[in-house]
Structure formats: C-alpha cells, structure tokens
Structure 1
Amino acid sequence: MRQITGTTNLNRQVAEALREAIHTGELRPGELYSVTRLAETLGISRTPVREALLTLADTGLVRIERNRGFRVVRRNPRHIAEVFHLRLLLEVPATRLAATAVTPDLLNALRSELTAMQDAAQAHDEPRFMHHDRRFHALILETAGNSLLTNTVATLRDTITTVGASTADQTRSLSDIAAEHTPILRALEAADPEAAAQAMRHHITHTGELLVAQTAAENAEPVSEPDTALLHNTHP
C-alpha cells in the first residue's frame, strides 16, 4: 500500500489509499486488519486512519470492530440491486421529462460527452471514461430541473464507485458501455420522451443486472430472483 505524502486533505488521502487497496485486493474482504499496523504502513498517525475508516464505514465498504480493528465488507448483490432500483425510479422519468425540454445546447453538450467517452474507451482510460459518463447523465438530469434529484443520483453512483463495483472490461467493454448511450442521445435528438425513457431504462437495468451477477459470483452464490425482480419492478 502506498504511503501518504503531505498533510493536505489527509483523511481524503487515506480513504483513497484504502479504496485502492480494497479494489486491487491488497485488503481482502472478511479479514481483520489492525488500525495501528495500517497507520504504520501508511506512515501516519492512527487518528486520520480512524477518521477515514469511519467515512468508509458510512458507505458500507468496511465494518469497524471495537478494540479489534476493521474488516472489508463483501460486496452485496442486494445492495447493488437496491441502488439501481432507485436509479431507475429517478432517472427514467427524469429522462422522459428532459426529452420535452431539449435544446440545441443540451444536444451539443451530450454529443461532446459521448464523443469523449468513445475516445476514452479507445484509450482504455476508465477514469476519464467514467467522468464523461457521469457528465452525460448529469446533463440530462439537470435538464429535468430538479437539483435535489441530480445530487441524489450522483450520491447513488458514488455508492457503487466506493464499493468498487464496475462492469468495465469485465462483463463488457468501455466501448460497449458507450454504445448504450447512443440510443438515449438519438431519442433526445428526436424529442421522443418515451423512446428516451426506454433507452435510459435499458441502459440502467442492463448495468444493474451485470453488476448484481458479478457480485453474486464473487460471493460464490446464485443471483437471487428477488434481486433480479427489483431491477424490473419500476413504473413504465
């Protein structure tokens, strides 16, 4: 695990280092880790480590055990299904609404983000790709005119990012993900609310299904019918 350098935003640096170690498998789910030993590895005091762990515990990534240390929590298929269920309930109607308020500026911005996603996919640059992916979705949500909705979806996406769940280059390529955004853009260009909503529904549902299946496989368990049903139990 990389040592922490500098003192600016120390808690954030520690949290990012822990996320990286979890995502690479250096810190493994289920094992008990010592806060003291982790602080020594990072070259810092225990206080910022504890504070960073509290932040990660709030997102469900780790579980703190009093006077013992902490454990990395296994990714939970049900939790992922619930997050994507909420995204469907929020983003599909928001996309339908956005299609009634399309402007040339919005379409140009969406085309720019999709092009940037395609370029990042060609370069196999997942962080850059996800930046433009998030911006593509945010532009649509912002057009719906509800800032609380936009922020809520951003938080839901952060939840998935924090636990390190991604389909990129596992069950589909970055180019495949980018391609799922094309029907959304085409429907918005046509100012077709139902087509736009359906394209967004397909994209979010497909992503959720793949992530639930991946997470179930990691836990050596079958995908449960209730989790699958949750991704399809939304209003038309």
Structure 2
Amino acid sequence: MAPSAPAAGPALPVLGGKKSSYRERVADALRAALIAGELRPGEVYSAPGLATRFGVSATPVREAMLDLAKEGLVDTVPNKGFRVTVVTEKQLDEYTHVRALIEIPTTVGLARTADPVSLEALRPAAREIVAAAAAGDLVAYVEADTRFHLGLLALAGNAHLVEVVGDLRKRARLYGLTALAESGRLLSSAQEHLELLDALLARDEAAVHTVMTRHLGHVRGMWAAHD
C-alpha cells in the first residue's frame, strides 16, 4: 500500500506524553487534525503515510482510524486507506446551534455555582491554547481547547451534557484555523478563554454570556469557513 501525500500544514506531533496507549494518543491527534482541517474532507489517507508523520508503525494508526470510522469521522476505502468524511454547511450550522443552546446557559450558570479553585485549575489549559495559537500549532490548539471546554462544562455536574458537546466538537471542521493562525487572528480568539475564566471568577454573568456568545460565533462564522 503506497502512502498518500501528506496534507498541507504542520506535521502531526510525534507520539509521547500522558496516555499509555499509542492507539489512544494517535486517535486524539488524528481527531484534532480532522477538526483543525489539516486532514482534508474527501481526501484518502493511508495508515503508512500517516504513520510516517507520527514516527510510529502503521498498526496503531490503522487501529486509531478504525476508531474514528466508528465515530463517523472517516470512511474506510478498501486497499487504499481512509477517506475523511465531508461536513456540510447545514451540518455545521446545526452543530453550532445545538452547542450554543447547551453551552451558553450552562457556562453562564457556572458564574453562580462553580468553585473558584476548580475554575483556576482550568487556567493552565487556557494558557496552553494561547501558546499553541502563538506557535501556530493547530493540533495542540484543538486538543487544549477541547480539554478546556469539556473540563469547564464538567463543573456543571452533568456527564451526559459533556458527552453530547464532546461528540458535536468531534464532528465539526474548523477549516479556517490555518488562515487565522497565519494572520495572527487566532491568538486573539485564544485569549478569549482567559477572558472567560476571569468573568466566571468575577461572577459576572453578563460578561460570561457576552464572551461565550462571541466565542461560539467565531467557531461558525470564522473557523468553519473554507479557504
């Protein structure tokens, strides 16, 4: 099986770090690359080709892609590899609408109920998002962004809500991230995470609502735009 040509943009990160399973780590990085738009919709990628970018054998990559296929993020292409599924404009609108219905009121409610210590515990992830944006590392950006937002929602104490939002985030495609990073605008969007934390710690519900509404507007209005 011949490796497919690498996608444009920065290479995926070399494996290592927190998780013990290569398969889990590869799946997380591939998922982030899909969301960031580094792996393009409709393109077919071979496991050996992606394994070269990870610096590991093809086996954990192939297993991770099978996991992503179960999530509906890729389709298997016999004797070739995996094709990234296409997300339509209508689907992106629907995902963002549902996220807004869930995340805005839930986050505003946290301004009343969240423990300040638990909120402060999210600041390192918020800083990771800013650092990744400054470095133009889109995969690290998406991974840190996911940890921050799902960690924040978890403070509401509703595990099913977190699962639903997590699934919507996996299915989204942020095609405009590369252009935003190159123009410097991604950094200002990243800094909204710190702004949100400050508003939550200040118990300022109006400010939390404003920041969250603006932030989700970026997801659909700016980040989901095709090149």
Shorter-chain TM-score bucket reads: 0.5 to 0.7
Aligned equivalents of 1:193, 1:95: Cα separation in 2: 9
* Partner residue in 1 for 2:187: 175
Give per-residue Cα distances to partners, 1:131-179, cap 9 Å, x unaligned: 222222123211111111112111111112xxx5343232354412212
> Aligned AA for 1:165?
L
Q: CA deviation at 1:94?
A: 0.8
Question: 1:19-168 residue pairs with structure 2 within 5 A?
Answer: 29=42, 56=68, 59-62=71-74, 72-160=84-172, 164-168=173-177
Asked whether the 8 Å contact 1:92–1:198 carries over to 2, the reply is no
User: RMSD value over aligned CA atoms?
Assistant: 4.1
In the aligned structure 2, how far is the partner of 1:130 from the partner of 1:17? Answer: 9
Task: State the secondary structure of the residue aligned to 1:213.
Answer: coil
SS of aligned partner of 2:114: coil
The residue number in structure 2 matching 1:233 is: none
Give identity over the alignment, percent.
Answer: 32
Structure 1 Cα separation of the partners of residues 30 and 126 of structure 2: 31
Secondary structure in 2 aligned to 1:165? coil
Q: TM-score, normalised by structure 1?
A: 0.62
CA distance in 1, matches of 2:22, 2:130: 34
5+ residue gaps, structure 2, are 5-20, 52-56
What is the distance in 2 between the residues matched to 1:140 and 1:15?
22
SS at match of 1:92: helix
Structure 2 residue aligned with 1:232 = none
- Name the amino acid aligned to 2:92: I
> Structure 1 71/115 Cα, relative in aligned 2: closer, same or farther at 3 Å?
closer
Amino acid at match of 2:222: L
From the superposition, tell whether residues 59 and 188 of structure 1 become closer, same or farther in structure 2 (CA, over 3 Å). same
Larger radius of gyration: 1
2: distance between equivalents of 1:10 and 1:107? 30
Matched, 1:192 2:204: yes
Determine if contact 2:177/2:223 at 8 Å carries over to the other structure: no
Q: Describe the superposition over 1:200-223 as per-residue Cα deviations: whole angstroms up to 9, x where unpaired.
A: 121012211124432xx6xxxxxx
Amino acid corresponding to residue 123 of structure 1 in structure 2: A
- Give the SS at the match of 2:42: coil
- Contact between 1:126 and 1:174, CA under 8 Å: does it hold in 2? no
| Paired residue total | 198
Partners of 2:47 and 2:199 in 1: CA distance: 51
Structure 1 residue 40: Cα displacement: 9.6
Deviation at 1:55, TM superposition (A): 5.5
Q: Is the 8 A contact 2:138 2:178 kept in 1?
A: no
C-alpha separation in 1, matches of 2:130 and 2:156? 25
Q: Following the alignment from structure 2 to structure 1, what is the Cα–Cα distance between the partners of residues 151 and 217?
A: 20
One-letter amino acid of the counterpart of residue 29, structure 1? G
Worse overlay, 87-96 or 164-173: 164-173
Where 2:180 maps in the other structure, the secondary structure is coil
Cα 1:24–1:123 change in 2 (3 A) is closer
The offset of 1:103, in angstroms, is 2.3
The gaps in structure 1 that reach 5 residues or longer are 3-8, 218-236
